[in-house]
Amino acid sequence: MSRLLVVSLLALWAGATLLAAQLRWANRPSLEQRLARFAPRGAPPGGRAGGLLSVDSFREVVGPLARAAGERMTAALGVAEPLDLRLRRLGSTADPTTLRLRQLARGCAAGGAVLALGVTLGAPAVATLGLTVLAPLLVFLVSEQHLISAVQRRQRELRDELPVVTEQLGMLLAAGYSLGSALARIAARSGGVCGQDLRQVGNRVRQGLSDAEALREWADLADVEELHRLVLVLQLQQEAGDLGRLIADEARAMRREAQRRLVETIERRAQLVWIPVTVATLVPGVLLMAVPFLAAMQTWSAL
């Protein structure tokens, strides 16, 4: 009962601190912030929106630490790509620091829940401490796996949409469209992953990049082999006389590759069907063999 009381008091103290941080007398702004409204250009660039106990100050202190710790843990797990690159590849506008802080908060909540449950149930101290340490790690691993799965799912969707988009691009170029206008038309008429990425390519072109540079940037970010090949073909726009035929050949190659992946998936799933069949066959067979074996052992032991 005393342990539960200690945990409850600690939780009450943490909650009271967070609530008091929102009060004006406990979160007094600095002199710099109080004089900022009288400055001709507003607040100074380095000024913070809150005081010492504000959410912004907590983010400034804990955010870099959480991001560095998360990068070290992902590197130890074998993930070499940084978090901001994976978020951009996913098409998300989330801040990497915000995501790391969210992971840290979920991990601390999971560890606190396990600790409170262990103290309430009177579990051994070693087991409670071990589970308290493992719970945040498990939450972090689940979050990273979810992010990796989302990136891989987006890459699969992009790979599946590329043959259709490539065929449309080839037809537009053969009809007399320029590369930029063809990409803009496909981006305006598409609603999938390719459409979103092509709209981003159009934004990069309007920011000053050429069509080839924007497409190369898209291919490097998406990291899809078929897209790399398509971009290499599109870079021949100034040199090739019949670019539509080359793009049509590339679209046929993409469809053959998609068909090969589909056949592999079908064969893999066909092999998985045999697992329950094998188990359902072997288990009764083992039981039928065990009955006479046990009867023979009992007969020999009785002699």
Give the pLDDT confidence of 126-139 residue by residue, as tens digits: 888 888 888 888 98
For the CA atoms of 126, 140, 148, 101, the dihedral, rounded to the nearest 10 degrees, stands at -170
Q: How far apart are CA 172 and CA 183, in angstroms?
A: 9
253: alpha, beta or left, given left = phi > 0 and alpha = psi -120 to 50? Answer: alpha
User: How does pLDDT run across 202-244, given as a tens digit for each residue?
Assistant: 998 988 888 888 999 999 988 888 888 888 888 877 666 667 7
199: Cβ contacts below 8 Å, ≥ 6 apart:
187
pLDDT at 92: 80
**11 pLDDT more than 80:** no
DSSP 20-81: HTTSTTTSPPPHHHHSGGGSTT-S-TT--SS-TTSHHHHHHHHHHHHHHHHHHHHHHTT--S
For the chain, list the domains and their CATH numbers.
2-42+49-152 (no CATH), 157-257 (1.20.81)
Q: How far apart are CA 89 and CA 130, in angstroms?
A: 36
The residue-averaged pLDDT of 133-158 equals 90
Q: How far apart are CA 46 and CA 247, in angstroms?
A: 51
Question: What residue has token string 């598409």?
Answer: 190
The number of residues making up the chain comes to 303
Three-class secondary structure of residue 7 per DSSP: helix
Please tell me the pTM assigned to this model.
Answer: 0.68
Are 162 and 230 in contact by the 8 Å Cβ rule? The answer is yes
The residue-averaged pLDDT of 39-53 equals 47
Token pair listed for 151: 């990136």
Neighbours of 4 (CB within 10 A): 12
